[in-house]
Amino acid sequence: MAIRNIVKMGDPILRKVCKPVTQFDGKLASLLDDLKDTLHKAEGLGLAAPQVGILKRVCIVEYEDAYYELVNPVLISSSGSCKDNEGCLSVPGFRGIVERPQFIEVEYFDRAGEKHRVQAEGYFARVFLHEMDHLDGILFADKMIRKIVDR
Ligand code: ZN
């Protein structure tokens, strides 16, 4: 387990479309463990593999008491919409108001290659969608309808 460096906006790595995971091996497990350590150190709500320079469809979400490791996540359905503020460990210095669905259902694999589904709502759904956007090279700053500058 290790803390990895978080890539910041401006680095072309964050703009790439990540590749699906095909091998559920020790390397994947190490990546997930490192993402968790790195997220805890940075005190964020989620972290995606491209944010540590790995172009794989892997991200983690930690919101309130829930912790999810998502491998090859796919948005199955979404409904409603809500606007709320969000920030990103790769985008220091400002947050923004982003409109996203209120309810979502996501299908994903765990580190052992088992398929799961999760439903999420409100800010919890927002964290999932934010992290999944990273896997397609999308940052919240691309979608924000209003910028909020810190301090
Ligand atoms: Zn982010």
Structural tokens at position 50: 């491209």
Per-domain residue ranges of the chain: 12-148
> What distance in Å separates the CA atoms of residue 35 and residue 97, rounded to the nearest whole number?
26
Is 69 assigned a catalytic role? no
Nearest CA to 51 among 41, 64, 38?
Answer: 38
Contacts of 33 (CB under 8 A, 6+ apart): 1
DSSP-based three-state secondary structure for 30? helix
Cα Rg of the chain, angstroms: 14
Structural tokens at position 45: 């709500």
Q: Spot the catalytic one: 43, 62, 64, 131.
A: 131
Q: Kindly report, residue by residue over 61-94, the tens digit of the pLDDT.
A: 999 889 999 999 999 999 999 999 999 999 999 9
User: What residue type is 115 in one-letter code?
Assistant: K
Q: What is the structure's pLDDT at 136?
A: 98
| Side-by-side strand order, sheet with 58-63 | 46-48, 58-63, 66-79, 103-109, 115-121
Q: Which residues of the chain have pLDDT under 70?
A: 151
Q: What is the mean pLDDT of the chain?
A: 96
> What distance in Å separates the CA atoms of residue 12 and residue 55, rounded to the nearest whole number?
11
Ligand 1 midpoint to CA 107 (Å): 20
According to CATH, the topology of domain 12-148 is Peptide Deformylase (3.90.45)
Q: What is the structure's pLDDT at 105?
A: 98
Q: What is the structure's pLDDT at 73?
A: 98
Q: What is the structure's pLDDT at 149?
A: 86
Ligand 1 midpoint to CA 24 (Å): 24
Nearest CA to 100 among 79, 120, 119?
Answer: 79
Q: What is the structure's pLDDT at 151?
A: 61
Ligand 1 midpoint to CA 47 (Å): 6
Ligand 1 midpoint to CA 21 (Å): 20
